[in-house]
């Protein structure tokens, strides 16, 4: 038999998670039923309330349970720096690198074919944030894809109109990477971005 009824429904529902195929979903379902029903019930409850209660910060648009996220609400962040990223996961990544300024989360990238324009990315909201007192530099950290680059270019124009300094994060050979295994596009960027030593 194939799994039937609720078990099949559970395996199927688990596949909403990225990276979880049929086989992994099956393994997870069996594991939870056999050994971890309490933690599975806990996951169910947390999942429900997270989906219901986590919204977006009204200022920077990252995920937040409160109207203003912990970062925007903190007085220990460098208010002169604003880093623009595509997604809340990117905020986490940049935080781990030691950045201590503010963020603005686009929740996407410019993609006219998919109907994603300046409005969907909250660029009006961003413009308001650019106008706040004390702002000095905007770091554009969108992904180095065609759409991410186009978005960076568009935002660069916006920021310059405000008279602020605007920078783009560097792209090149990743730390610990070996030239031999790095794609030619990345090496071309690394060459173009070379610096005196």
Give the residue with the Cβ less far from its own copies, 10 or 123: 10
Give the residue with the Cβ less far from its own copies, 41 or 161: 41
Q: How far is the CB of 165 from its own copies (least distance, A)?
A: 25
Q: How far is the CB of 174 from its own copies (least distance, A)?
A: 17
Give the residue with the Cβ less far from its own copies, 72 or 138: 72
Give the residue with the Cβ less far from its own copies, 148 or 172: 148
The Cα 142–Cα 106 span in angstroms is 9
Q: How far is the CB of 178 from its own copies (least distance, A)?
A: 23
Residue ranges that bind its own copies, judged by CB under 8 A: 1-7, 9-10, 13-14, 16-20, 24, 26-34, 36-37, 39-54, 63, 65, 70-71, 87-89, 92, 95, 107
Q: How far is the CB of 85 from its own copies (least distance, A)?
A: 12
Q: How far is the CB of 162 from its own copies (least distance, A)?
A: 27
For the chain, the three-class secondary structure string (H helix, E strand, C coil) is: CCCCHHHHHHHHHHCCCCCCCHHHHHHHHHHHHHHCHHHHHHHHHHHHHHHHHCEECCCCCCEECCCCCHHHHCCCCEEEEEEEECCHHHHHHHHHCCCCEEEEECCCCCEHHHCECCCCCCHHHHHHHHCCCCCCEEEECCCCCHHHHHHHHHHHHHHHHCCCEEEECCCCCCCCCCHHHCCHHHHHHHHHCCCCC
Give the residue with the Cβ less far from its own copies, 52 or 157: 52
């Amino acid at each position: 038999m194939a799994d039937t009824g609720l078990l099949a429904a559970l395996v199927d529902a688990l596949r909403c998670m990225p990276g979880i195929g049929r086989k992994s979903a099956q393994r997870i379902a069996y594991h939870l039923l056999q050994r971890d029903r309490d933690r599975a019930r806990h996951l169910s409850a947390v999942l429900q309330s997270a989906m219901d209660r986590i919204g977006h910060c009204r200022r920077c648009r990252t995920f937040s349970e409160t109207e203003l996220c912990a970062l925007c609400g903190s007085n220990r962040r460098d208010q002169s720096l604003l880093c623009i990223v595509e997604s809340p996961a990117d905020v986490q990544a940049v935080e781990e690198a030691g950045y201590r300024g503010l963020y603005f989360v686009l929740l996407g990238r410019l993609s006219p074919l998919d109907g994603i324009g300046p409005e969907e990315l909250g660029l009006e909201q961003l413009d308001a944030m650019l106008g706040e007192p004390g702002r000095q530099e905007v770091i554009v950290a969108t992904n180095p894809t065609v759409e991410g680059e186009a978005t960076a270019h568009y935002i660069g124009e916006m920021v310059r109109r405000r008279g602020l300094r605007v920078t783009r994060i560097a792209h090149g050979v990743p730390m610990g990477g070996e030239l031999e295994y790095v794609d030619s596009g990345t090496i071309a960027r690394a060459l173009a971005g070379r610096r005196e030593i």
